[in-house]
A and B are shown apart, each in its own frame.
Chain A
């Protein structure tokens, strides 16, 4: 029963791809088959959580007539998912939610995918990065921590992060440059595991997203030092220690001129109908108005910038350039590039 449903939905989605080639009807475009959301990462990560929350919101508020199916294609640092969407030309029922691996995976591995192969739909939010240390450690501010790193020889401090040659390591390399000392970078499979390694004192610091570490902050185990953004986060509700997200200073104010935000946005395959893209933009606008979405945003202290169309494409083009620069500087580009 379960399998057959799933196969039906997958089959239906394929059929959707075929039907899309036929001329579009005159009335407003509506999905005629289940909508697939591809997650180019494993279950339980930030992108997966966001996709599944959206699936829940859309189902609960009946925002579409067709069901939404979330599929994880995490192989090759997400390359598998991006290739799948790239190869789904004209499929109006397949979307992909991206994280920074949209840029980093092709650059680091040479997998032949570029965002220009895809159709940008909308930016849902930007994910912040915060510098965390264990609350048992004496460092109360980013400056104290940086001074400690500076005072010690190279490779005395361990930084934990998600994956290799991805956002966490990019930030680490930028930090090293700003501080002028090397750190040991230890890659883990997922953000939750990274935070736990810090709680267990197996690494000295992490750059976890707020949502990955907030539980441990509230539990008194971790301490945020600074946020890698141009301005502090806007959420003023007290989270822990009488502090809110808004009370975390920017890293720049602490003398660490490093900024990084991660895209949480949607793309579709090439050659999809304009009406379909518009339909999903309107759908996402409705999602953004729901209380569940607002709660997710404030829980994870997301930057809620919403962009569509040319503005979004421009932002992505800029972000690609930034990543290329950062990756080149760090020596992370694949040899074939």
Chain B
């Protein structure tokens, strides 16, 4: 333990060298740019910049790359809030309340809340990594296919009963999402599904294409219909809004703590940041006193998903280092980087490469602090973007969306798909079909299906595998409770009311 602290201090001394701090700032700025451009995303950004780092020492290189990663995480929230375009899968839940806030002229507040929550989530996870790294790695090992499925199940369940739209529409949207998610190669049988012989469908529908279209393009179409109304006029552009929001945030400490825990847990179990953000949002909506107001611009609806996503994103780096399994595409590219520098991720990395590991952990602390300062000082700048007339900014967004959609797979057909999704998104909005369940199903549907079928392969078709040990049974039960919560709470209400009626 004291050894570790000593190592951490040593890590700080490495990270705080002037050229490393410079690399950190450069990394954060590059990362924010990468995160702001939808589709480019952290994975592509890190992949493009990876060769730049080969001439550096591994420690400097990983500092810069992980700062790009942090920057991209911060940056993803910006477009979600300002334009309803999530740059990364885990920013989707941020749009639910972040974008309405921006429309009400509270963009600065929403951005400050998002950045601060990201910071809190990441910091919590780093502290956890520092303290209990070995325990965490062995906990992650307990996740086989059945356990992984139970986590996805819980994520779906804690989100499904939430929607304000009629349940039938929610289910229809979700099923459509499952269908779209199934297109492409089926991992379990190695067969192509639903491609109808079109070579362009081999890769299936990328989540990012769907999201850029449904949310980004759909929103632009709606705004156009409303006569290019100019909503951002009242956006305040002073740093005072940061201070004001900070005064308000401590009120949500319980929400933050809960979101941090959800995030860390989901990050360590290999489910990752996306289900963490959805789950945290879903649970916050249920528990919060202002839950009915979620989706209309509630600051808690920004804090919950952002905190959880970043706690998860950070916590996911630990299994990557200790077990060599990347928790996200970006982490996968980082992992490739480690191998190129001759570092073999695995249980021995912590023993053999102390300088590197603790340098990395120290850079997580510092990178987040530097990142928070950089992005917070830019809040007025970002918020000011909304002051540009929509008729000017819309074409720019459209071009950025198209570039982003192309960059995901270097495929021009994806740009067409993005437009199709955009039109679909417009009609879904018009007809009140919720898009979030559909997006959730596209992101997690095929993964959930895969782990479900892997479990059943292993158990030779017996569903008992989902209740075969304490861990998986607990998670499944939590999922079932979440699924039937509306019924359960109504029943409890009924019992309580009858009780009080009888007393009276």
Listed stretches A41-49, A114-122, A241-249; interface member: A41-49
B204 within 8 A of A: yes
Known A158-B458, A295-B342; judge A43-B336 contact (CB<8 A): yes
Known A77-B185, A164-B188, A186-B454; judge A215-B340 contact (CB<8 A): no
The answer to whether A44 touches B336, judged by C-beta atoms less than 8 angstroms apart, is yes
Residues in B neighbouring A48, C-beta threshold 8 A:
336
The answer to whether A53 touches B340, judged by C-beta atoms less than 8 angstroms apart, is yes
Q: Which residue of A lies closest to B400 (CB)?
A: A3
- Give Cα A71 to B203, complex, Å: 14
B462 within 8 A of A: no
Q: Which residue of A lies closest to B351 (CB)?
A: A219
The answer to whether B344 touches A214, judged by C-beta atoms less than 8 angstroms apart, is yes
Residues in B neighbouring A149, C-beta threshold 8 A:
none
The answer to whether A195 touches B324, judged by C-beta atoms less than 8 angstroms apart, is yes
B325 within 8 A of A: yes
B118-155 interface mask toward A, CB cutoff 8 Å, 1 = contact, 0 = none? 00000000000000000000001111110000000000
A181 within 8 A of B: no
The answer to whether B326 touches A192, judged by C-beta atoms less than 8 angstroms apart, is yes
Q: Which residue of A lies closest to B349 (CB)?
A: A215
The answer to whether A221 touches B347, judged by C-beta atoms less than 8 angstroms apart, is yes
Residues in B neighbouring A76, C-beta threshold 8 A:
184-185, 192, 195, 202-203
Residues in A neighbouring B55, C-beta threshold 8 A:
60
CB contact list, A66-81 vs B, under 8 A: 67-68, 70-71, 73-77, 79-80
- Give Cα A79 to B325, complex, Å: 24
- Give Cα A218 to B324, complex, Å: 13
A205-236 interface mask toward B, CB cutoff 8 Å, 1 = contact, 0 = none? 00000000011101111000000000000000
The answer to whether B329 touches A186, judged by C-beta atoms less than 8 angstroms apart, is no
B190 within 8 A of A: yes
A55 within 8 A of B: yes
- Give Cα A3 to B348, complex, Å: 37
The answer to whether B51 touches A332, judged by C-beta atoms less than 8 angstroms apart, is no
- Give Cα A153 to B188, complex, Å: 24
- Please give the distance in Å from A142's CB to the nearest CB on chain B: 23
A28 within 8 A of B: no
Count of chain A residues with a beta carbon within 8 Å of a chain B beta carbon: 69
Residues in B neighbouring A199, C-beta threshold 8 A:
141, 323
The answer to whether A43 touches B347, judged by C-beta atoms less than 8 angstroms apart, is no
Listed stretches B33-41, B367-375, B482-490; interface member: B33-41
A254 within 8 A of B: no
CB contact list, B422-457 vs A, under 8 A: 450, 454, 457
The answer to whether A219 touches B347, judged by C-beta atoms less than 8 angstroms apart, is yes
B313 within 8 A of A: no
- Please give the distance in Å from A46's CB to the nearest CB on chain B: 10
The answer to whether A44 touches B51, judged by C-beta atoms less than 8 angstroms apart, is no
Q: Which residue of B lies closest to A44 (CB)?
A: B332
CB contact list, B200-227 vs A, under 8 A: 202-204
CB contact list, B85-115 vs A, under 8 A: none
Known A43-B336, A80-B203; judge A184-B192 contact (CB<8 A): no
B335 within 8 A of A: yes
The answer to whether A196 touches B184, judged by C-beta atoms less than 8 angstroms apart, is no
Residues in B neighbouring A1, C-beta threshold 8 A:
33
- Give Cα A67 to B184, complex, Å: 32
- Please give the distance in Å from B393's CB to the nearest CB on chain A: 18
- Give Cα A104 to B333, complex, Å: 26
B177 within 8 A of A: no
B191 within 8 A of A: yes
- Please give the distance in Å from A178's CB to the nearest CB on chain B: 22
- Please give the distance in Å from B467's CB to the nearest CB on chain A: 16
The answer to whether A83 touches B51, judged by C-beta atoms less than 8 angstroms apart, is no
Residues in B neighbouring A326, C-beta threshold 8 A:
none
B187 within 8 A of A: yes
Contacts A192-B323, A192-B335 supplied; 9 other A-B pairs, CB < 8 Å: A44-B335, A75-B184, A75-B204, A80-B199, A155-B460, A200-B141, A200-B144, A216-B324, A218-B344
Query: Can you give 27 contacting A-B residue pairs, CB < 8 Å?
Result: A2-B33, A2-B37, A2-B48, A5-B48, A43-B332, A44-B326, A44-B335, A49-B336, A59-B51, A59-B54, A75-B185, A75-B204, A76-B185, A79-B185, A109-B191, A111-B199, A185-B457, A186-B145, A193-B270, A215-B345, A215-B346, A215-B347, A215-B348, A220-B347, A292-B340, A292-B342, A299-B342
Residues of A within 8 A of B (CB): 1-3, 5-7, 10, 42-44, 48-49, 52-53, 55-56, 59-60, 67-68, 70-71, 73-77, 79-80, 83, 108-111, 155, 158, 163-166, 169, 184-190, 192-193, 195-197, 199-200, 202-203, 214-216, 218-221, 292, 295-296, 299, 332
